[in-house]
């Protein structure tokens, strides 16, 4: 299989799962990694935006990024996986790079939406959504799932022009216990997502043949601090199934 990875995260919290997944897939597949952000001002904008929504230092602490000893680029060099950078995931250079590689699948970890044009550059873009689809779409999906559904799942789905609207290939529950913090749950979601990608790439046709619909639900936005406190209370009280 030819698998591309499209990243542009301004934060480093998902670095461990990226390196693990790429390392595992590198032996039997042709891989290509594309970093869709290379200007300092874009990283800064992304950071400032995220800073308003999350506790960055707690996220890094809880998801193990601090213990990752290598930058992803270093790991790619060691594995011999080719990579490139473009200034935006939605520009022509990005589309050209993707078309040149001609991937079967594109694994995404992004802090922005992909344009319809970019989505035409490969047959299937994948995203792991850390919330209950089809009900909870959008930002802080983990928190909204806990508040409104009292459960947490991760879904592997097609990236479509809407936000978290593409068909669903795989869904797995995430065990939530009273000791979990909201940022800690993100780490659990990443581990579940890693397992899902492993399973998906072991037999992709099996999962894409019978996708689940993703219609309905609602889009939610960055959750207010008081509502997050309420959600944390629900977790601590063991109110999540």
Rounded to a whole number of angstroms, the minimum distance from the CB of residue 145 to other proteins is 12
28 touches 21 (CB < 8 A) = no
Using CB under 8 A as the criterion, what x/- string covers residues 50-69 for binding other proteins? -xx-----------------
Q: Is 218 in the site for other proteins (CB under 8 A)?
A: yes
Contact stretch for other proteins (CB under 8 A) within 16-24, 140-148, 167-175, 208-216: 140-148
Residue 221 neighbours by CB distance under 10 Å = 10
* Alpha carbon distance 86, 213 (integer Å): 33
Q: Is 139 in the site for other proteins (CB under 8 A)?
A: yes
Q: How far is CA 170 from the centre of its chain?
A: 14
Q: Is 222 in the site for other proteins (CB under 8 A)?
A: yes
Among 44, 73, 102, 178, binds other proteins (CB under 8 A): 44
Residues binding other proteins: number (CB under 8 A): 24
* Alpha carbon distance 97, 214 (integer Å): 29
CA angle 117, 202, 112 (to 5 degrees): 30
Rounded to a whole number of angstroms, the minimum distance from the CB of residue 63 to other proteins is 22
Is 196 or 231 the residue whose CB approaches other proteins more closely? Answer: 231
Residue 70 to residues 7, 15, 66, 211: CA-CA distances in angstroms? 16, 9, 10, 36
Contact stretch for other proteins (CB under 8 A) within 56-64, 93-101, 127-135, 215-223: 215-223
Q: Is 26 in the site for other proteins (CB under 8 A)?
A: no
Is 208 or 219 the residue whose CB approaches other proteins more closely? Answer: 219
Rounded to a whole number of angstroms, the minimum distance from the CB of residue 163 to other proteins is 9
* Alpha carbon distance 179, 40 (integer Å): 37
Q: Residue 48 corresponds to which tokens in the numbers above?
A: 């400032």
Burial 113-128 (b: 16+ CB within 10 A, else e): ebbeebbebbebbbbb
Q: Is 1 in the site for other proteins (CB under 8 A)?
A: no
Among 67, 212, 224, 241, binds other proteins (CB under 8 A): 224
Backbone angles phi, psi at 129, to 5 degrees: -100, 125
Q: Is 161 in the site for other proteins (CB under 8 A)?
A: no
Query: Can you give the binding site for other proteins, defined by CB under 8 A?
Result: 44, 48-49, 51-52, 138-139, 144, 147-148, 218-227, 230, 233-234, 237
């Amino acid at each position: 299989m030819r698998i591309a990875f499209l990243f542009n995260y301004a934060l480093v919290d998902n670095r461990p799962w990226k390196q693990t997944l790429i390392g595992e897939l590198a032996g039997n597949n042709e891989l290509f990694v594309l970093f869709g952000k290379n200007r300092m001002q874009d990283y800064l904008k992304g950071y400032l935006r995220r800073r308003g929504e999350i506790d960055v230092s707690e996220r890094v602490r809880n998801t193990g990024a601090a213990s990752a000893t290598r930058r992803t680029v270093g790991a790619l060099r060691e594995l011999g996986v080719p990579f490139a950078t473009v200034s935006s995931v939605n520009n022509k250079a990005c589309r050209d790079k993707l078309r040149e590689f001609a991937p079967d699948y594109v694994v995404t970890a992004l802090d922005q939406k992909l344009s319809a044009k970019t989505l035409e550059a490969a047959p299937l873009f994948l995203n792991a959504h850390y919330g209950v689809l089809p009900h909870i779409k959008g930002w802080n999906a983990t928190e909204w799932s806990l508040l409104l559904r009292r459960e947490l799942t991760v879904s592997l789905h097609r990236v479509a022009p809407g936000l978290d609207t593409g068909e669903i290939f795989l869904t797995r529950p995430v065990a939530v216990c009273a000791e979990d913090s909201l940022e800690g749950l993100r780490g659990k979601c990443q581990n579940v997502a890693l397992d899902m990608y492993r399973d998906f790439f072991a037999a992709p046709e099996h999962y894409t043949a019978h996708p689940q619909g993703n219609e309905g639900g609602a889009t939610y936005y960055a959750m207010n601090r008081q509502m997050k406190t309420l959600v944390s209370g629900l977790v601590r009280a063991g109110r999540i199934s």
